[in-house]
Structure 1
Amino acid sequence: MDQHPAWVRRKNHGANSFDPTSEPVFFWKSPEAAIQYTELLHTHANPGDISMKSNLSQRVAELVANGWEPVTTTETTASLTGRRPFAWWLFLIVIFLFPLFGGLLYLIFWVATSKATVFLHVEGEDIAVAGDKWLLDLQRDQHEAYVKKQRLIKEQGFLKVMWPQLLVSFGLIALWIYLLKTYW
């Protein structure tokens, strides 16, 4: 299992390393490898442990589907990284206030500060989440709103549902073009 091409097992060295007698820690080469590993655990697990491991692997698979990337995974823990949402309105304001380099500076700022990490571990019968839980809650809420909006679009049609957002977008673009022509 340690020699599988989809993952690399790192040895623990140094005073600040993990306990070498603890579970192996794997660093994934791809998100699919984490899911393969958790599925592989099910085939070699004790029958009583399968439900918790399957709950953990389902939660990891759910987070991977939402854009998170597995970093390390053991039989009872997982660490995933992602990025906080891009603030489009702030980006537009910065471009409006600083037309030449404002957008580039905001992109650099966002890349430098937007990393988020979530840690999952099995705690009794539950899966405990630590880290940037607010981002998980935000993603869940946005997903529910997205599903609702998609259902409305399917039932009523795109223009009937989306006309307010389209109107505001076109209005802001027209205002920006007008201000650029007037003051530049």
Structure 2
Amino acid sequence: MCGHMPVNAGSTSGTWSISAAYGQTDEALIDTADMYGVGANEEFLAPFVAAHRDEIILATKFGIGYRADDPAYRAIRNDPGYLRTAVEASPPRLNVEVIGLYYMHRRDPVIPLAESVGAMAELVRASLFSRDVERSVVGAAAEPGVAFVPYSPLGGGFLTGSFSDADKEL
């Protein structure tokens, strides 16, 4: 069993602090987490996401485990097993097939970072159909410290189900 680091079990509603606490917000980025409201936050956002899917980037995160039978329980979880469980649970709650950005909420120093990153890399390998941009653009952007956001990050429709065969249709 992995060592799980306890965290503060404060309550949240809606998307945590989307309109307060962190300054100005970006209406095009909806950022939530599986632990907000023990998964209820993602369910709460689902109708909004469905109504605005073409207008937003949907981000959610994993890394703080919870138990539905104990709302006060919170533990930092970065083990690959939890990651797989979390990434399978979020899309149905959000009523989407694809999450635009999925990332680690908190890091448990007991779990080797290579294990967590390796599990996230498995997710990328399972859905990534082109790595051309990594060879041509990412390095150039990294040199001056510039962030790179790829054009058409959902594969121009491939990952959203608009295309079924990249070789034939793209």
Q: TM-score, normalised by structure 2?
A: 0.23
Q: TM-score, normalised by structure 1?
A: 0.22
Q: Which has the higher contact order (CA 8 A, sep 6+)?
A: 2
Which structure carries more helix by proportion? Answer: 1
